Amino acid sequence: MADRARSALRAAAAVDDSPRAVLAELNRVLVGSRLGVAASLTAICLRFERRGPGLAVTLCVAGHPPALLRSADGSVTEVAAAGTMLGVLEDPLLADRKLILSPGSTLLLYTDGVTEARRGSDYYAERLFGVVAREGGRRFAAIPERVARDVRAFTGGTNEDDLAVLALRAAAPNRSRLAARAPRWHRRRAVRRDEARTVTVRASSEVAGAGFEPTTSGL
């Protein structure tokens, strides 16, 4: 099923790369498998486009915990985007949500192993905003590890659920580097064309027991 889901995602993105369309196609494959709850899952799908010095982000959520946006000033807001779990309904509620990821801002994605971690009757979700606000201003690559470490400290190391944290930040285009790659007579034009079509996302992740390897990628 995992291979079929990946194939469905790639095929859907080649036809229509809107996150809603991609997740709708994945849902069609899951429902068509007739495996019931065994083929159900939550998901969040994002598309990035260069918009000035930052990134225009389009995201669609399917039963997944909402992303958190930490602005450069330290404020943290929840990116509200309702959507139903995939593989359950033939016509799930799915909608694209748009936002701007400015330089210095961080988008945090995480599984419910973070928000549902508990200590007695207390859930970690109640303190996640504060941790992101405090730790988000530190070295970017360390943010997911710091959140995961705080979850483990909160539960005393007894959290048995899968835990994955992914932080995304827009990397500003490097004008001098782009210019250095172009022939001298063509530099001015080449910089503009490269900047118009190049999108760079800095990614850092922390995964524990989630069945896949953390990656750092540029898109």
Encode pLDDT of 3-19 as tens digits: 777 788 888 888 888 99
Top CATH class of 2-208 equals: alpha beta
Residue 67 confidence class, pLDDT cut points 50, 70, 90: very high
Average pLDDT over residues 34-42: 81
Are the C-beta atoms of 169 and 105 separated by less than 8 Å?
Answer: yes
Ranges of each domain in the chain: 2-208
- Read off the pLDDT of residues 128-162 as tens digits, 9 standing for 90 and up: 988 888 877 667 778 888 888 888 888 887 766 77
Backbone angles phi, psi at 72, to 5 degrees: -60, -25
Q: What is the dihedral of CA 24, 37, 125, 141, to 10 degrees?
A: -60
| Nearest residue to 23 (alpha-carbon basis) of 87, 103, 68 | 87
| Nearest residue to 23 (alpha-carbon basis) of 66, 109, 100, 84 | 84
Are the C-beta atoms of 119 and 156 separated by less than 8 Å?
Answer: yes
CA–CA separation, 116 and 162 (whole Å): 10
CA–CA separation, 95 and 58 (whole Å): 10
